[in-house]
Structure 1
């Protein structure tokens, strides 16, 4: 099954996702979002596209926002829901979160939201230009007038670096992987192949082995900016590497802030 945006093995991958992603800079994404909202306007309602297990959506909800966590994987959403119940248990929570199994290219909410976010390079998983443009149009449609669409992507140079530096290996007591990459330079599309060994938790040192294949594509930043404007956004700013500074050629992670 070959589609632009899919979760081939996220049923099993979801079970180790948080363990493998525990070093990801979630606090930096949240800090950057707050910095942008200080500049563009603080939202009270947010849609989180590609929310995964809720590592961004849950802190936003705990801070008092009304959050919609949107993801294509039911397994990821099941974990996100469980994490939210645990985080909110016994707490005086002013915000709320609703988990929705929807495609970031075609999603709908009961009402428009103040902001849309999509972090951890979710847009890179859309490997056709037409899919990216659909996602931009959907974000535009879901925002109120004046609302902000904030997302990050890996720069093309980052995929080249991945290709040059692979393979990557993790060897921990409870989980291990071998991660290789193959880059299609013409399309700037990279295929990640992971062989994962995860403890079954039984205490007898038994591990289950499974494969995970993910594909991402990096796009020319100028094209992405033009695509956002074509989708209807009135202005687009481009930043780099978690800072409110112009994105230069050395940027590894690009951030776009598009205003409806």
Structure 2
């Protein structure tokens, strides 16, 4: 799902997101591999909240996203940070890039793949774009979060510049949620513009994702939950996966 209206206010709405936890998780997993990655593909990179800090830490980063609007903001942030990230407007299901030592997809980007075939195809594309011995790191929403956190809830936010009404409509059989977002964006003349977006996300059982990773060729798969080293519990909200492409 490509963000359009939301891109302009995304960083403002995500200001409290603990990106440092994702960065720590990524680098902790990098250190556990047989070699330290130098090149990183960031799938669903958004406005560069992880890609740019990784570049600051010395990695060669390519950020891939479906949204040109998000990538434009990422580019401006990169220039302000005085680092280099290569940006590519692509669908992760059709990934085309130079092979990297690591591929990451964070902040539930893979949860936007709402068909099983799309997840399987993405795993195959990632495998093909990893160097031998490379690592694939990603996180997704858990079935529990789709059913019991999003569910059929309504969330609201309001400040002087942007407000929203966020309605969730859950399909429990597919473990899928439709996010209907209505934004009210303050314009230079002081009036507010109303814009709407719809997004869909789907959860999969961990055993399914592990099986699809194995079918794509990955080995040494692990799954943990909620930024810990612990396996998922029944009420875990975010699932973290690590998988390797076999070495030479």
TM range (shorter): over 0.9
5+ residue gaps, structure 1, are 1-5
1:20 equivalent among 4, 10, 13 = 13
Cα distance in 1, alignment partners of residues 235 and 37 from structure 2: 31
Give the match for residue 90 of structure 2: 102
8 A Cα contact 1:229 1:235, kept in partner: no
Cα distance in 2, alignment partners of residues 141 and 174 from structure 1: 44
How far apart are residue 244 of structure 1 and its match? 2.1
5+ residue gaps, structure 2, are none
Give the match for residue 251 of structure 1: 236
Is 1:191 the counterpart of 2:178 in the alignment? yes
Cα distance in 1, alignment partners of residues 19 and 241 from structure 2: 17
8 A Cα contact 2:137 2:241, kept in partner: yes
Aligned residues: 244
User: Helix, strand or coil for the counterpart of 1:170?
Assistant: strand
Given the two structures, how large is their TM-score scaled by the length of structure 2? Answer: 0.95
How far apart are residue 165 of structure 1 and its match? 6.7
Cα distance in 2, alignment partners of residues 131 and 64 from structure 1: 32
Give the match for residue 131 of structure 2: 144
- Comparing 125-134 with 14-23, greater Cα deviation is found at 14-23
8 A Cα contact 2:47 2:74, kept in partner: yes
User: Helix, strand or coil for the counterpart of 1:180?
Assistant: strand
User: Helix, strand or coil for the counterpart of 1:244?
Assistant: coil
Which runs of at least 4 in structure 1 moved beyond 4 Å after TM superposition? none
Q: Deviations over 1:109-129 (max 9, x none)?
A: 1x3101000001011100000
1:30 equivalent among 20, 23, 34 = 23
For the aligned residues, what is the CA RMSD? 1.2
